Amino acid sequence: METAINLKNKNVVVTGGSRGIGAEICRKMAACGANVLINYHHSPGEAESLRRELIKDFGIKAWTFHADIASEDQIRHMFRYVDDAAGSLDVLVNNAGYETIEDALTMKLEAWDGVLNVNLRGAFICAQEAGKRMVPRKSGVIINISSIHDKVARKGLVHYCCSKAALNMMTKCLALELAEHQIRVVAISPGAIETTMNKEEIERFGREKFNEWIPLGHVGNVRDIAWACAFMASDMAGYFTGTELYIDGGYKESTIRYDPRT
């Protein structure tokens, strides 16, 4: 009886995979036996260090590739590289994301486009490229990393929230279209997750505030997201498609700050 997540010899692409949640997704995929392509935009050193770590620790194949997920040409070039390096593609994790804090009434359209071009347009182009490679094999999984802010509005992030809401609808539509080819499409929506990059921001804002607001009482860890991705990529999740999985400790359900009981 199989009791562990098995991704042995699967080929996985993780966009925005060099740090934070993306890097941990790469680690957990490799820990389960997958070969991993680490896409990066701004951090070649971190990507190369992670590549060496995955090969050393897990004995899998790993590659790095620089591509701006806002660029159609760079995305398509990356997938051609996957063809040459890996030979096939089993799993795409659309993890690359971008946000800025903007006042809705003064936001320049360049800021709107910048966020939508990565979080939605780029994710769609990646899904197109992955799907074209998966259809002939009648197998594959596309995982879109969304956010609880697909449902929970937030000041200063109208463009980001809209991009994630649209990403979840894209997930459902692609799930319907690709199901006949046995390709599954799912979304994973993190809440407040601590990374190396945002740890200082959490402390500055007040970790105790998050811990009070989150029903489970603590900020999440990148491992929480990464293990869910590995599970969703595996045959264990073979009946999941069109699903949105919220990993937030109950955060999005806890917006009213009172308890009517005595």
Residue with tokens 């050393």: 56
Distance from C-alpha of 98 to C-alpha of 114, rounded to nearest angstrom: 8
Give the CB-side neighbour count of residue 255, counting CA atoms within 13 A.
8
Q: What is the pLDDT of residues 14-30, one digit of tens each?
A: 999 999 999 999 999 99
Task: Evaluate the CA torsion angle 71, 73, 74, 78 in order and state its sign.
Answer: positive
Distance from C-alpha of 235 to C-alpha of 1, rounded to nearest angstrom: 13
Q: Are 196 and 20 in contact (CB under 8 A)?
A: yes
Q: What's residue 262's pLDDT?
A: 54
Angle at which helices 20-31 and 44-58 pack, to 10 degrees? Answer: 20
62 DSSP β-pair partners: 36
Distance from C-alpha of 166 to C-alpha of 148, rounded to nearest angstrom: 13
Q: What's residue 2's pLDDT?
A: 61
**Prediction pTM value:** 0.95
Rg of the chain's alpha carbons, rounded to an integer? Answer: 18
Q: What is the pLDDT of residues 36-86, one digit of tens each?
A: 999 999 999 999 999 999 999 999 999 999 999 999 999 999 999 999 999
Delineate the domains of the chain, giving CATH numbers in brackets.
Answer: 11-247 (3.40.50.720)
Q: What's residue 258's pLDDT?
A: 58
Whole-number Cα distances in Å, 137 to 31, 89, 182: 24, 9, 9
**Cα end-to-end span (Å), the chain:** 49
Task: Evaluate the CA torsion angle 200, 202, 205, 208 in order and state its sign.
Answer: negative
Whole-number Cα distances in Å, 215 to 219, 249, 257: 10, 6, 11
Segments in the chain below pLDDT 70: 1-3, 255-262
Distance from C-alpha of 209 to C-alpha of 53, rounded to nearest angstrom: 35
User: Given phi > 0 = left and psi -120 to 50 = alpha, else beta, which region is 16?
Assistant: left
Instruction: Name the residues annotated as catalytic.
Output: 160
Q: What's residue 3's pLDDT?
A: 67
